[in-house]
Amino acid sequence: MNTYQTFPLDKAKGIQMLVLDVDGVLTEGHVTMTDAGDEIKNFNVRDGHGIKMLQRVGIEVAILTGRKSKVVAYRAADLGIKYVIQGSLRKADGLKDLCQQAGISPNDCAYMGDDVIDLPAMKQCRLKTAPCNAHKGVLSQAEWVSAYQGGLGAVRQLCEGLILANDGWGDVIFKAYGLTPEDSGW
Protein backbone atom coordinates (compact mmCIF):
# COMPACT_ATOMS: atom_id res chain seq x y z
CA MET A 1 0.00 0.00 0.00
CA ASN A 2 1.32 3.44 -0.92
CA THR A 3 1.00 5.49 2.28
CA TYR A 4 1.47 8.71 0.35
CA GLN A 5 -1.69 7.99 -1.65
CA THR A 6 -3.69 6.97 1.42
CA PHE A 7 -2.88 10.02 3.54
CA PRO A 8 -6.23 11.56 4.68
CA LEU A 9 -5.69 15.07 3.31
CA ASP A 10 -9.28 16.18 3.99
CA LYS A 11 -9.16 15.04 7.61
CA ALA A 12 -5.75 16.68 8.11
CA LYS A 13 -6.92 20.07 6.83
CA GLY A 14 -7.21 22.54 9.70
CA ILE A 15 -5.06 20.54 12.16
CA GLN A 16 -3.56 23.03 14.61
CA MET A 17 -1.23 20.79 16.63
CA LEU A 18 0.71 17.58 16.10
CA VAL A 19 1.19 15.57 19.31
CA LEU A 20 4.09 13.12 19.30
CA ASP A 21 5.19 10.32 21.57
CA VAL A 22 8.98 10.03 21.90
CA ASP A 23 10.25 6.46 22.27
CA GLY A 24 9.27 4.53 19.17
CA VAL A 25 8.06 7.65 17.32
CA LEU A 26 10.75 10.33 17.52
CA THR A 27 13.31 7.59 18.25
CA GLU A 28 13.64 3.97 17.22
CA GLY A 29 12.50 3.00 20.70
CA HIS A 30 15.88 2.09 22.11
CA VAL A 31 17.00 3.52 25.45
CA THR A 32 20.73 3.52 26.12
CA MET A 33 21.88 4.15 29.67
CA THR A 34 25.41 5.13 30.66
CA ASP A 35 27.15 3.88 33.81
CA ALA A 36 26.33 7.26 35.34
CA GLY A 37 22.62 6.69 34.70
CA ASP A 38 22.39 9.22 31.87
CA GLU A 39 20.04 8.37 29.06
CA ILE A 40 21.06 8.53 25.40
CA LYS A 41 18.49 8.76 22.62
CA ASN A 42 19.00 8.98 18.87
CA PHE A 43 16.79 11.46 17.03
CA ASN A 44 16.41 11.56 13.26
CA VAL A 45 17.46 14.92 11.81
CA ARG A 46 15.02 14.57 8.91
CA ASP A 47 12.17 14.17 11.39
CA GLY A 48 13.48 17.30 13.12
CA HIS A 49 13.53 19.25 9.85
CA GLY A 50 9.98 18.07 9.14
CA ILE A 51 8.94 19.48 12.53
CA LYS A 52 10.61 22.82 11.77
CA MET A 53 8.86 23.03 8.37
CA LEU A 54 5.53 22.15 9.98
CA GLN A 55 5.98 24.95 12.50
CA ARG A 56 6.60 27.38 9.61
CA VAL A 57 3.11 26.51 8.33
CA GLY A 58 1.75 27.57 11.73
CA ILE A 59 1.04 24.11 13.14
CA GLU A 60 2.24 23.66 16.73
CA VAL A 61 4.10 20.51 17.74
CA ALA A 62 3.81 18.96 21.20
CA ILE A 63 5.53 16.09 22.96
CA LEU A 64 3.60 13.72 25.22
CA THR A 65 5.73 10.95 26.69
CA GLY A 66 5.42 8.47 29.52
CA ARG A 67 9.11 8.61 30.37
CA LYS A 68 11.11 11.48 31.85
CA SER A 69 14.41 12.40 30.26
CA LYS A 70 16.61 15.49 30.17
CA VAL A 71 17.53 14.71 26.59
CA VAL A 72 13.86 15.05 25.55
CA ALA A 73 13.73 18.52 27.09
CA TYR A 74 16.93 19.44 25.24
CA ARG A 75 15.62 18.13 21.91
CA ALA A 76 12.30 19.91 22.36
CA ALA A 77 14.09 23.18 23.10
CA ASP A 78 16.37 22.63 20.10
CA LEU A 79 13.32 22.27 17.84
CA GLY A 80 11.34 25.12 19.43
CA ILE A 81 8.66 22.78 20.77
CA LYS A 82 7.03 24.68 23.62
CA TYR A 83 4.38 22.16 24.67
CA VAL A 84 6.08 19.23 26.41
CA ILE A 85 4.67 16.84 28.98
CA GLN A 86 6.95 14.10 30.29
CA GLY A 87 6.16 11.33 32.77
CA SER A 88 2.56 11.08 31.59
CA LEU A 89 1.38 7.56 32.30
CA ARG A 90 -2.22 8.63 31.67
CA LYS A 91 -1.85 10.15 28.26
CA ALA A 92 -5.53 11.10 27.91
CA ASP A 93 -4.99 13.44 30.87
CA GLY A 94 -1.72 14.64 29.36
CA LEU A 95 -3.47 15.43 26.07
CA LYS A 96 -6.13 17.38 27.96
CA ASP A 97 -3.38 19.42 29.66
CA LEU A 98 -1.58 20.07 26.36
CA CYS A 99 -4.79 21.22 24.70
CA GLN A 100 -5.60 23.53 27.61
CA GLN A 101 -2.12 25.04 27.41
CA ALA A 102 -2.48 25.57 23.65
CA GLY A 103 -6.10 26.75 23.84
CA ILE A 104 -7.38 24.13 21.40
CA SER A 105 -9.46 20.95 21.49
CA PRO A 106 -8.28 17.38 20.80
CA ASN A 107 -10.30 17.59 17.58
CA ASP A 108 -7.71 20.15 16.41
CA CYS A 109 -4.89 17.61 16.90
CA ALA A 110 -3.12 14.89 14.99
CA TYR A 111 -1.39 12.25 17.11
CA MET A 112 1.39 9.79 16.34
CA GLY A 113 1.92 6.98 18.81
CA ASP A 114 3.41 3.52 18.71
CA ASP A 115 2.32 1.63 21.82
CA VAL A 116 -0.84 0.88 23.77
CA ILE A 117 -0.14 3.65 26.32
CA ASP A 118 -0.81 6.10 23.45
CA LEU A 119 -4.29 4.79 22.63
CA PRO A 120 -6.36 6.74 25.19
CA ALA A 121 -4.96 10.07 23.93
CA MET A 122 -4.77 9.03 20.31
CA LYS A 123 -8.47 8.07 20.22
CA GLN A 124 -9.44 11.62 21.26
CA CYS A 125 -7.61 13.30 18.37
CA ARG A 126 -9.02 14.05 14.94
CA LEU A 127 -6.21 12.29 13.09
CA LYS A 128 -4.72 9.10 14.56
CA THR A 129 -1.40 7.99 13.05
CA ALA A 130 1.38 5.52 13.73
CA PRO A 131 4.79 4.44 12.44
CA CYS A 132 4.66 1.17 10.48
CA ASN A 133 6.39 -0.75 13.30
CA ALA A 134 3.90 0.27 15.99
CA HIS A 135 2.19 -2.28 18.24
CA LYS A 136 -0.48 -4.26 16.37
CA GLY A 137 -3.25 -2.82 18.56
CA VAL A 138 -2.14 0.72 17.72
CA LEU A 139 -1.95 -0.09 14.02
CA SER A 140 -5.54 -1.34 14.18
CA GLN A 141 -6.70 2.02 15.59
CA ALA A 142 -4.60 4.29 13.35
CA GLU A 143 -6.32 6.01 10.45
CA TRP A 144 -3.00 6.38 8.66
CA VAL A 145 0.22 4.41 9.03
CA SER A 146 3.52 5.80 7.81
CA ALA A 147 5.66 3.79 5.41
CA TYR A 148 8.54 4.46 7.81
CA GLN A 149 9.45 3.17 11.24
CA GLY A 150 9.59 5.30 14.36
CA GLY A 151 12.82 7.30 14.51
CA LEU A 152 13.48 6.57 10.85
CA GLY A 153 11.27 9.03 8.98
CA ALA A 154 7.71 8.38 10.19
CA VAL A 155 7.42 11.85 11.73
CA ARG A 156 8.87 13.49 8.61
CA GLN A 157 6.34 11.78 6.36
CA LEU A 158 3.49 12.83 8.65
CA CYS A 159 4.75 16.43 8.77
CA GLU A 160 4.90 16.57 4.96
CA GLY A 161 1.34 15.25 4.74
CA LEU A 162 0.12 17.90 7.19
CA ILE A 163 1.99 20.61 5.29
CA LEU A 164 0.42 19.48 2.03
CA ALA A 165 -3.08 19.21 3.54
CA ASN A 166 -2.83 22.71 5.00
CA ASP A 167 -1.69 24.41 1.79
CA GLY A 168 1.83 25.12 3.04
CA TRP A 169 3.87 23.16 0.51
CA GLY A 170 4.41 26.06 -1.89
CA ASP A 171 5.71 28.48 0.72
CA VAL A 172 7.61 26.09 2.96
CA ILE A 173 9.02 23.44 0.63
CA PHE A 174 8.75 24.52 -3.01
CA LYS A 175 10.06 28.08 -2.55
CA ALA A 176 12.92 26.96 -0.31
CA TYR A 177 13.95 23.71 -2.02
CA GLY A 178 12.25 23.64 -5.44
CA LEU A 179 10.48 20.36 -4.73
CA THR A 180 6.91 19.63 -5.72
CA PRO A 181 4.82 17.16 -3.74
CA GLU A 182 5.34 14.65 -6.56
CA ASP A 183 9.12 15.04 -6.28
CA SER A 184 8.81 13.93 -2.66
CA GLY A 185 6.55 10.95 -3.30
CA TRP A 186 3.20 12.69 -2.82
Q: What CATH number labels 17-175?
A: 3.40.50.1000
Tens digit of each residue's pLDDT (9 = 90 or more) over 52-77: 999 999 999 999 999 999 999 999 99
32 dihedral zone (left: phi>0; alpha: psi -120 to 50; beta): beta
Question: Residue ranges per domain, the chain?
Answer: 17-175
Instruction: Say if residue 18's pLDDT is above 70.
Output: yes
pLDDT of residue 3: 78
Return contacts of 138-143, CB within 8 angstroms, 24+ apart.
138/113, 138/114, 143/8, 143/11
Mean pLDDT throughout 174-183? 97
Instruction: Say if residue 98's pLDDT is above 80.
Output: yes
